[in-house]
Amino acid sequence: MNADLVEQPEIRPLEQILKEHLDNTLVCGQALSELFENLKDPDPYILRVKHLEEKGDRITAEAYRSLELLAYSEVVYVTEQLVKHLDDIADGINDTARLIDISYPRQIEDAAQEILSTLMTMIENLQSEIPNYPNIDLARMKTCCKNLKGAEENADLIYHEWRKKQRRVLVLSLIEETNWTEILGVLEETTDAAYHAGLLLERLARYRQK
């Protein structure tokens, strides 16, 4: 068969791919929230998070393929880093679900709900800016990054205060504390990925104004 006759996959605009990535990640986060609420029967929710993360991997691969078709530039380089951090957010959500699968906690810690809620807000903030890619408005993005930084610092504070409470009050057993320290640590690190994605969008906005 002539290679020219083989149907080539449709190349979608990058802004459409990136928007779908964040939309999927938000749904993935919602599935994790449902998992938190159903720890007595976690398996269906763990599987749903996994499937959504795998969908995110496919979107990530599509984004990289689209970037490969462009002439290399600063915008392409920064966008590659942006795609990686967007993928890291979905990975972090899935890693959190996997740790719950491993440790099988009996009940949710309030700190987990609070950090996840913070992360979801950060994803929504990114969602509001990504449709404008690559023509990101610098003033809007500065405001967005300020909000993202505040959210990331709040997640860090929640995690810190939770750990301090465990050491000073001994609320949980040692094994439960160890498990939740790892779970919350991964979730808090995921907010870092969301903040860094925002910084990359701001970098794109600055570049476009040169």
CATH 1.10.3720.10 fits 10-208, yes or no: no
What pTM was estimated for this model as a whole? 0.92
Confidence of residue 2 (pLDDT cuts 50, 70, 90): very low
Instruction: Return the minimum-mean-pLDDT range out of 41-45, 132-136, 189-193.
Output: 132-136
34-92: pLDDT as tens digits: 999 999 999 999 999 999 999 999 999 999 999 999 999 999 999 999 999 999 999 99
What is the rounded distance in angstroms from the CA atom of residue 198 to the CA atom of residue 125?
9
All structural domains of the chain with their residue ranges? 10-208
Q: Work out the burial of residue 68: count CB atoms within 10 Å of its CB; fewer than 13 is exposed, 13-18 middle, 19 or more buried.
A: exposed
Confidence of residue 9 (pLDDT cuts 50, 70, 90): low
